[in-house]
Amino acid sequence: MGSKLLIISARDEDLPYSEDLTISAISKVTPGSAEKPEYRVKREWNSSDPFHLLFEFQSERSIEVDADTVELIGWSVLDLQH
The string of DSSP letters for the chain reads --EEEEEE----TTS-GGGGG-EEEEEEE-SS--SSGGGG--S---TT---EEEEEETTS-EEEEEES--------HHHHT-
Enter the pTM of the model: 0.78
* φ, ψ dihedrals at 65, nearest 5°: -130, 135
- State which residues of the chain have pLDDT below 50: none
pLDDT of residue 78: 57
pLDDT of residue 46: 94
pLDDT of residue 77: 57
What span, in angstroms and rounded, lies between the C-alpha atoms of 64 and 77? 23
